[in-house]
Structure 1
Amino acid sequence: MKLKQAMHKDADFSLFGASSHQYRVKGKLTAKEVENWQDRNQVILPEPFAQFLTEIGNGGAGPYYGIYSLEKATSNTEREALLAQPVLHPGMTKEEWNDLIKLLTEDEDISDEKYDEARNKVLGGMLCIGTQGCEYDMYLVLEGEYRGKVVYTSDFHPDHPFFFVYEDSFLDWYERWLDEINLDYEGSWFGVLMPGNEDALIQMYHNDLNEEIQTKALNGMFKFKKVPQETLDFLGNIAEKNLKHRITAIQLICKTSFDIGAKYLMELLHSDVQEDFLEVLKILNAHRKTVDLREFYPEILQRFDRINDRETLRYTGYILEDCDATTLQDFEPYLCSVDPTMQTTAIYAARSCKNKVGSWQIIEHMFVEGDQQVLKNSILYWGLIPHEKLLPYYKAIWPEYNNNPNFREKFIDCLRELHLPEDYFDRDEP
């Protein structure tokens, strides 16, 4: 019933991965077929998963790109890993994880055999039951204390242990997926956020004084597309009184009611804390395609000359991209910075500034003081600025671009705007 409701709710298959399975399951397996598989592979499947295979279907509809058939799950799991003992557990520390994957990340000369052995140890005692796309897969724990839990895996990145979902069994996890579709929750990264509706998460936040749990309870609200006024009041109280969770609360308010969140963003813009300014820029960037941000431009421009890191400068460029009042003069201190990384970020951030021709002096100063990479970055992000004073610099680097059709046309367009012959850069005279 819930699967049919989900199919009706997402009739156009807009949820990520839905177009691949279209909410249809494959033919069921018999109990004997499951038993034969277990005998062949010397593995006993967790009962909820075996129940899914025999009572619902042998794969098909499910989170992300769906659930593999038992045959495909087997072919996507190394037998050595399938028969190994699990070593992963929820709450694994970064130190434990890094030590576990050391051979996979630090030994460049590791043999294929040793690599496979180390990889199978990490994935031991689990069956690959589906993919989330790219490097991300879903596994089912077959043995040990966490038998039956679903694990989200990725590549072996230091400091990023694999993620155990909240549910203890496959069917609980699967049913939550259907429930959240039918409740019209955000489904892009299903299973990562704490389960529960607004009331349950608010109760969790109040009842558990553990900061990590409180953070997870708040983050769990990102799956809601809309929230009632009571929830907005709860978030507003946190935004005003709780410094640790203030930013998350403001993000949530802006996600569902940007007009209400704008008040808190303005307050943060007046903060002297650099991190607050960056957080505002990130929130504004998340909404800039759907919200008119003009009221924020003057406040941002007032803080422009106090930016001291690349990330803040980059996000400032994003927000001011549609602000016609922004000029290269605003970016000048960073365009002419002695820090090459800051300078590169500034060139990228200023890519949408109007009337670069009128600021040719700043550009020439960049070219004189910077190395050749500055010139290349300006061509990459800005194209060629059609001003006669800049032609010598473009002419000097022309041989590197002459045979590149993508960039050659930019050089030719510059000459056309200046009414110069197309062979200008090939001539010997300056």
Structure 2
Amino acid sequence: MDMMWTGVRERVLALRTAPGAHRVFGASVGRFGHRFTLRPPLTEAELLETEEALGVRLPEEYRGFLLEVAAAGAGPDYGVLPLTRPKEGGAASAEHLRRPFRPVHVQELTTAHQAGKPLRRTYADPDEYVRDYHAWDERDDELFDALDEGSLRVSEHGCGYFTLLAVTGPERGTMWADVRATDEGAVPFRRPGKERMTFAEWYLRWLARAETRARGEAETATGSAAAP
């Protein structure tokens, strides 16, 4: 057993009855709110079967969470998304996951590609412009899709924003904000003194803050408010 997850499931479930549970972002938002519920953890056999289908071994901290805390449920944003296997005929999804996660490299390629966007005013032949623009646009779509190669979506912020966990390549095990909705690519989660944040750091930081917010009024009165 990974000791970092000891007692975490119980801490999360206990927040269901906290006086300020509704104040925690994502906990109570109509049918999207996680309400501090957690699905049962995966069994080792279930996890291994899913990893075999995906063709990758997941980062250890995330594996520990799935095996000891929950398969999905309460967590940052609107909660931790379930881990799913590629659907029948979904080899492309598995292949996408097995490629190295290289957001900085892809963003550099995207920047260079954007600078070469065909401009209508520079073409004498409209057919040539249309041909070149279509080729450029196809490559633009490819680069957009390539940004999250080698990563899993582990939570959703809403409005097209997601949190990614890198599962392949040199960034394996680190957390990233997918902000393609604002054309900013992917940005790593950071904490003071660290340029990267791991899955456990990301989740446990949320839990500590959720406990402070959900129990703040009662615990402040006794002088034992949890640290942020």
TM-score bin, normalised by smaller chain: 0.5 to 0.7
Instruction: State the match for 1:164 in structure 2.
Output: 188
Return the alpha-carbon distance in structure 2 between the equivalents of residues 112 and 44 of structure 1: 34
Q: 2:170 aligns with which of 102, 127, 145?
A: 145
Q: How does 1:166-245 map to 2 (within 5 A)?
A: 166=190, 168-184=197-213
Higher mean alpha-carbon deviation, 118-127 vs 41-50, is at 118-127
Return the alpha-carbon distance in structure 1 between the equivalents of residues 63 and 75 of structure 2: 15
Cα offset, 1:28, TM superposition = 1.4
Q: 2:27 aligns with which of 18, 28, 34?
A: 18
The answer to whether the 8 Å contact 1:24/1:61 transfers is yes
Q: Secondary structure at the match of 2:176?
A: strand
Instruction: State the match for 2:224 in structure 1.
Output: none
Between Structure 1 and Structure 2, how many residues are aligned? 180
Q: 1:59 aligns with which of 66, 69, 72?
A: 72
Return the alpha-carbon distance in structure 2 between the equivalents of residues 175 and 117 of structure 1: 35
Q: How does 1:25-424 map to 2 (within 5 A)?
A: 25-71=38-84, 78-89=93-104, 97=107, 99-100=109-110, 103=113, 106=117, 109-110=134-135, 114-155=139-180, 157-158=182-183, 160-166=184-190, 168-184=197-213
Cα offset, 1:110, TM superposition = 4.6
Return the alpha-carbon distance in structure 2 between the equivalents of residues 9 and 154 of structure 1: 32
Instruction: State the match for 1:7 in structure 2.
Output: 16
Q: Secondary structure at the match of 1:144?
A: coil
For the pair shown, the structure with the greater C-alpha radius of gyration is 1
The answer to whether the 8 Å contact 2:53/2:94 transfers is no
Instruction: State the match for 2:222 in structure 1.
Output: none
The answer to whether the 8 Å contact 1:3/1:23 transfers is yes
Cα offset, 1:121, TM superposition = 2.1
1:174/1:32 Cα in 2 relative to 1: closer, same or farther (>3 Å)? same
Which has more helix, going by share of residues? 1
Return the alpha-carbon distance in structure 1 between the equivalents of residues 52 and 83 of structure 2: 14
Return the alpha-carbon distance in structure 2 between the equivalents of residues 138 and 5 of structure 1: 25
Which has more strand, going by share of residues? 2
Return the alpha-carbon distance in structure 2 between the equivalents of residues 183 and 163 of structure 1: 26
Unaligned runs of 5+ in 1: 186-196, 198-223, 225-430
The alignment's C-alpha RMSD in Å is: 3.2
Return the alpha-carbon distance in structure 1 between the equivalents of residues 79 and 41 of structure 2: 15
Q: Secondary structure at the match of 2:84?
A: helix
1:24/1:156 Cα in 2 relative to 1: closer, same or farther (>3 Å)? closer
Deviations 1:180-210 (A, max 9, x none): 122239xxxxxxxxxxx7xxxxxxxxxxxxx
Cα offset, 1:104, TM superposition = 7.0
Q: Scaled by the length of structure 2, what TM-score is found?
A: 0.66
Instruction: State the match for 1:333 in structure 2.
Output: none
The answer to whether the 8 Å contact 1:29/1:58 transfers is yes
1:70/1:104 Cα in 2 relative to 1: closer, same or farther (>3 Å)? farther
Instruction: State the match for 2:4 in structure 1.
Output: none
The answer to whether the 8 Å contact 1:104/1:118 transfers is no
